[in-house]
Amino acid sequence: AQSVTQLDSQVPVFEEAPVELRCNYSSSVSVYLFWYVQYPNQGLQLLLKYLSGSTLVESINGFEAEFNKSQTSFHLRKPSVHISDTAEYFCAVTPRGNTPLVFGKGTRLSVIA
Amino acid sequence: EAGVTQSPTHLIKTRGQQATLRCSPISGHTSVYWYQQALGLGLQFLLWYDEGEERNRGNFPPRFSGRQFPNYSSELNVNALELEDSALYLCASSRRTGSTEAFFGQGTRLTVV
């Protein structure tokens, strides 16, 4: 079975400051890794994913995440956050193949002006 | 292309009643997943349907059930509602083969009073 741990439930950060949201996973098989974002009163949107190849993946709005197999981590980073990045962020894993995602409990990012 | 649609948006029920939630997947998607997002608990996997069959279920009691119709839409039924069933219920869909991403609907907010 797979599990995901998001180490921080809440992360406050000032606008234009860098941020890192941490995610560690546990799995006995190879997995796909995902970050989803949930804005207030909305569903989840895919932010970025790691399937294979380059361990650094990027999103169109400046976020990036790096897959670290030895540390079983997939931390999400952004060098300079905006007010509009305020949301809840979920890390998720799934074994390779068509199976349900396993989510972490989420990290609430609050960007302060 | 229409995204995943869920209805109703909000639902208020009293304890002991039954609730029915509906989900229409993206055209061409055959897999439907249901998740419960209760306050502070992240997303908990409920049910997975594919090609009309239940493929997997999470650690929820039998009063949580559902089905998938021939057009791949799905229903989630919750019987004998309890106060702790109050949550956002999210539906997601994906392609059956070669799937690497699940697309989420906006959710149904169920409130049990």
Question: Residue B112 — very low, low, confident or very high, per pLDDT cuts 50/70/90?
Answer: very high
Q: How far is A76 from chain B (nearest CA, A)?
A: 18
Instruction: For residue A75, list its beta bridge partners.
Output: A66
Query: Tens digits of per-residue pLDDT, B11-41?
Result: 999 999 999 999 999 999 999 999 999 987 8
Query: Tens digits of per-residue pLDDT, B41-88?
Result: 889 999 999 999 999 999 999 999 999 999 999 999 999 999 999 999
Contacts of B99 in chain A (CB under 8 A): 98
Side-chain half-sphere exposure of B22, counting CA atoms within 13 A = 7
Instruction: Count other Cβ atoms within 10 Å, centred on residue B11.
Output: 16
Contacts of A105 in chain B (CB under 8 A): 40-42
B43-68 burial, b at 16+ Cβ within 10 Å, e below that, comes to bbbbbbbbeeeebebbebeeebbbeb
Query: Tens digits of per-residue pLDDT, B33-45?
Result: 999 999 878 899 9
CB contact under 8 A, B45 and A100: yes
The mean predicted confidence, pLDDT, of chain B is 93
How high is the mean pLDDT in each 10-residue block of chain A (113 residues)? 91 97 92 92 90 88 93 96 96 81 94 95
Give φ, ψ of A8 to 5 degrees.
-120, 125
Q: What is the pLDDT of residue A112?
A: 96
Q: What are the residues whose beta carbons fall under 8 Å from the beta carbon of B28, sequence distance 6 or more?
A: B95
Q: Which of A32, A99, A104 sits opposite B42 (nearest CB)?
A: A104
Contacts of A32 in chain B (CB under 8 A): 100
HEC per residue, chain B: CCCCEEECCEEEECCCCCEEEEEECCCCCCEEEEEEEECCCEEEEEEEEECCEEEEECCCCCCEEEEECCCCCEEEEECCCCHHHCEEEEEEEECCCCCCCCEECCCEEEEEC
Contacts of B33 in chain A (CB under 8 A): 100-101
Dist. CA A110–CA A12, nearest whole Å: 5
Dist. CA A90–CA B92, nearest whole Å: 15
CB contact under 8 A, A99 and B104: no
